[in-house]
Amino acid sequence: MSRRGFLKAATVMALAAATGPVLAACGTSQPQPRGYDGEPRPLPIPPLDEGKLVDGHRHFTLTTQAGSAEILPGTTTSTWGFNGDFLGPTLRMHRGDDVEVDITNELDEMTTIHWHGMKLPAWADGGPHSPIEPGETWSPRFGVDQPAATLWYHPHPHGRTRLHCYRGLAGLLLIDDDVSDNLDLPHEYGVDDIPVVIMDHKFTDDGELDETLDDDLGLMGDTPVVNGITNARFDAETSRVRFRIVNGANMRFYNLALSDERAFSVVATDSGLLSEPHEVTHALIGPGERLEIVVDLEPEEEISLVSLPLEGNFGIPEDNDEAPDFGFQHEFEFLQITGPAEGTPASAALPAELDPAAAEQPNLDGVIEREFALNTFEINGETMDMERVDVTIDHQDPEVWIVTNENPDWPHNFHIHNSRFRVLSIDNNEVEEIGTYGWKDTVSLPPGATARLAVEFGYYPDPTVPYMYHCHMLWHEDNGMMGQFVIVEPGEEAALEPMSGHGPH
């Protein structure tokens, strides 16, 4: 850790662990979250679910349910999960599959389940117009027609998304394709291809999830929870490990690094593999975003996956006492990692080329440009209205979306359903860690920054059901920082039928 890092760490409110190498030298004067006294526990690996092949389609079954989990060692916490107490299975599918999912809601309130990052018909997207009432089953069906990627699924009931995610409704969705099948990257799930779902929680004195809302920060937690537990460790069996990292936190951005600040390779962003590995020492990941990284390990060494204080504080003035503290100077340890057994040979170089098609840029000649201004809980001066169509897209071409964060001291991050985009530029931005490489579906926006996005949409025209675009900081989204777009045939008009996203139209 750098000298600068140490100095910053001294001001950190929320330190994750007392035991890891990052924090060992930081002393013990900072307040510690609960639950870090004991031995680290092995990283739980969510069960892998490849569905069942039924009549030529791949069929999955999910049930949302209430339960309890030992998030903190020795403490039982009430939670929600899919097919279990907390979080959900990792669904794995292949490009070209025809997928159907039966989702039964055994909670006592309505929810919806959205496939974040998937291009698919609007009724199957699982946004706020696809409610699943208690006791009901919803069965979206969609073809998988996009490159290999790490996506995720989570609830999307308007105004309640933060709480449903916070209680534990989140899981990974992996897409494979012929390119990823033939690539020399670690790919054995749970062995050298490791899911890392990062959230954060706060806890009440009796060990329950603290759902007290902060006016500015909503459900921002102080304790990192990785795959459902605090203080996790992973003992590698191989010298090279791929981590598929999902930021499933309600509100936090993380500045990912390894504890010795060594270089690692980003091999995929939100929407899939890069054209070639991209080496970094830090990588910013905002709420909803994913990164696949490859880490090379020496035998028996001890390092940690951490989040370090972000230089420049994401452009948020540090001397403004009025502004909420979005935690960019906080430091966390997510995962202690031990290298493989003595004598394990080092890995060969990474493939120089990953997915060559990822290098292709969309053709932007003559495309439509649209502007979106984010300001407190509004986009273009309005909060979300389930009955209003904000954008109608009646063609198959890409568009350029120009998204500005107008708040002087708030971060935002912008997500578009049924799409992938390239970040063409981010103006007025000094935050180097924001990745502008690769295909993405969510982009982090410092105060004052304007991002130009070249967006490609899935084309499944349906005038009746909208897709969402929104800030993925869930307190912002739930407070209305969301808009609706429909995709229609050329010349057709939107004809919204609110809450009708149950089946094909």
In the list 95, 119, 420, 476, the residue contacting Cu ion (rule: CB under 5 A) is 476
> Can you tell me the distance from the alpha carbon of 9 to that of 6, in angstroms, rounded to the nearest whole number?
5
Smallest distance, Cu ion to C-beta of residue 321, A: 21
From the list Cu ion, ligand C2O, none, pick the one residue 240 interacts with, judged by a Cβ distance below 5 to 8 Å according to partner type.
none
Does residue 164 contact residue 112 with C-beta atoms inside 8 Å? no
Token readout for 113 is 């389940």
In the list 337, 445, 471, 486, the residue contacting Cu ion (rule: CB under 5 A) is 471
Does residue 77 contact residue 203 with C-beta atoms inside 8 Å? yes
Looking at residues 105 to 164 of the shown chain, list those that interact with ligand C2O (rule: CB under 6 A): 114, 116, 154, 156
From the list ligand C2O, Cu ion, none, pick the one residue 156 interacts with, judged by a Cβ distance below 5 to 8 Å according to partner type.
ligand C2O
DSSP 489: S
Smallest distance, ligand C2O to C-beta of residue 125, A: 9
From the list ligand C2O, Cu ion, none, pick the one residue 151 interacts with, judged by a Cβ distance below 5 to 8 Å according to partner type.
none
Of residues 114 and 420, the one with the C-beta less far from ligand C2O: 114
> Can you tell me the distance from the alpha carbon of 176 to that of 170, in angstroms, rounded to the nearest whole number?
20
The pairing of strands 462-471 and 450-457 is: unpaired
Smallest distance, Cu ion to C-beta of residue 117, A: 6
Q: What is the dihedral of CA 349, 353, 354, 355, to 10 degrees?
A: -170
From the list ligand C2O, Cu ion, none, pick the one residue 473 interacts with, judged by a Cβ distance below 5 to 8 Å according to partner type.
Cu ion
H helix or E strand, kind and range, residue 180: helix 178-181
Can you tell me which residue has the tokens 């307040």?
Answer: 31
DSSP 163: H
Smallest distance, Cu ion to C-beta of residue 420, A: 11
Smallest distance, Cu ion to C-beta of residue 471, A: 3
Looking at residues 404 to 443 of the shown chain, list those that interact with ligand C2O (rule: CB under 6 A): 415, 417
> Can you tell me the distance from the alpha carbon of 336 to that of 303, in angstroms, rounded to the nearest whole number?
6
- Using alpha carbons, select from 374, 144, 381 the residue that is nearest to residue 272: 144
How many Cβ atoms from other residues are within 10 Å of residue 324's Cβ? Answer: 15
- Using alpha carbons, select from 405, 406, 446 the residue that is nearest to residue 429: 446
> Can you tell me the distance from the alpha carbon of 133 to that of 110, in angstroms, rounded to the nearest whole number?
4
In the list 412, 420, 422, 440, the residue contacting Cu ion (rule: CB under 5 A) is 412
- Contact between 468 and ligand C2O by CB under 6 A: the answer reads yes
Can you tell me which residue has the tokens 């004809």?
Answer: 495
Of residues 440 and 470, the one with the C-beta less far from ligand C2O: 470
Number of residues binding to ligand C2O, judged by CB under 6 A: 10
Smallest distance, Cu ion to C-beta of residue 217, A: 11
Which burial class, exposed, middle or buried, applies to 139 when counting CB atoms under 10 A from its CB (0-12, 13-18, 19+)?
middle
Q: Which residue is nearest to ligand C2O (CB)?
A: 116
The pairing of strands 98-105 and 141-143 is: antiparallel
In the list 81, 288, 309, 411, the residue contacting ligand C2O (rule: CB under 6 A) is 288
- Contact between 470 and Cu ion by CB under 5 A: the answer reads no
From the list ligand C2O, Cu ion, none, pick the one residue 471 interacts with, judged by a Cβ distance below 5 to 8 Å according to partner type.
Cu ion
In the list 226, 280, 423, 473, the residue contacting Cu ion (rule: CB under 5 A) is 473
Residue 324 forms beta bridges with which residues?
none
- Region of 95-103, 134-142, 382-390, 468-476 interacting with ligand C2O (CB under 6 A): 468-476
Of residues 23 and 170, the one with the C-beta less far from ligand C2O: 170
From the list Cu ion, ligand C2O, none, pick the one residue 476 interacts with, judged by a Cβ distance below 5 to 8 Å according to partner type.
Cu ion
Can you tell me which residue has the tokens 């502004």?
Answer: 323
Token readout for 275 is 């054209």
Of residues 46 and 288, the one with the C-beta less far from ligand C2O: 288
Beta strands, E only, 270-359: 272-280, 282-285, 290-296, 302-307, 332-338
> Can you tell me the distance from the alpha carbon of 126 to that of 112, in angstroms, rounded to the nearest whole number?
6
How many Cβ atoms from other residues are within 10 Å of residue 128's Cβ? Answer: 24
Q: What is the DSSP string of 257-291?
A: EETT---EEEEEETTEEEEEEEEESEEEE-TT-EE
- Contact between 252 and ligand C2O by CB under 6 A: the answer reads no
From the list Cu ion, ligand C2O, none, pick the one residue 288 interacts with, judged by a Cβ distance below 5 to 8 Å according to partner type.
ligand C2O
In the list 244, 417, 420, 440, the residue contacting Cu ion (rule: CB under 5 A) is 417
Q: How far is CA 329 from the centre of its chain?
A: 20
Smallest distance, ligand C2O to C-beta of residue 289, A: 10
Looking at residues 332 to 371 of the shown chain, list those that interact with ligand C2O (rule: CB under 6 A): none
Number of residues binding to Cu ion, judged by CB under 5 A: 6
Smallest distance, ligand C2O to C-beta of residue 248, A: 9
Which residues make up the interface to Cu ion (CB under 5 A)? 116, 412, 417, 471, 473, 476
Which residues make up the interface to ligand C2O (CB under 6 A)? 114, 116, 154, 156, 288, 415, 417, 468, 470, 472
